[in-house]
Amino acid sequence: MSAITKIKTGSKFEEIASYSRAVVVDNWILVSNTAGRNPDTGKIPEDIFEQVDQVFNNIERALAAVDATLADVVQSRVFIQNREDIHKVMTHIGTKYRGIDPTNTATCPPLGSDSYQVEVEVTAYRGASKADVNYLHLDK
């Protein structure tokens, strides 16, 4: 039987809603939808790019706890509060994923708080960053 690890960060929201920041099953790591709240200060930056950076800091912290990195991410789901922000947010996120190239879904549903401008959920496979990667370009 597989071992399962559940990562808790101490967030009051994890407690209220009974969820884990991440769940690890074998080498698969599923990271919950993550907002840009700084876990040390409890603050959410007003600047959208600072929020994106904090979202990725939070995700990378969870991944590091189980010996994984952002480079192990194979799937990303991005939730953006305002449709007019999608291009600039995805351009900024593109700098985070450059060379990683996970699958991606971006959508613009209402988020759980008006202070959240961006949330990101990822699936990672521990060791993907060390795997041989072949790119198939269907446009050629």
C-alpha 97/C-alpha 78 separation (Å) is 12
**Alpha-carbon distances of 72 from 25, 28, 91, rounded to whole Å:** 14, 10, 20
Share of the chain above pLDDT 70, in %: 99
Tell me the mean pLDDT in the region 90-113: 96
- Residue 92 has a CB neighbour count (10 Å cut-off) of 17
C-alpha 68/C-alpha 17 separation (Å) is 25
Q: pLDDT (tens digit, 9 = 90+) per residue, 30-77?
A: 999 999 999 889 999 999 999 999 999 999 999 999 999 999 999 999
In the CATH scheme, what architecture does the domain 4-123 have? 2-Layer Sandwich (3.30)
Q: Where are the domains of the chain?
A: 4-123
- Answer whether residue 1 shows pLDDT above 80: no
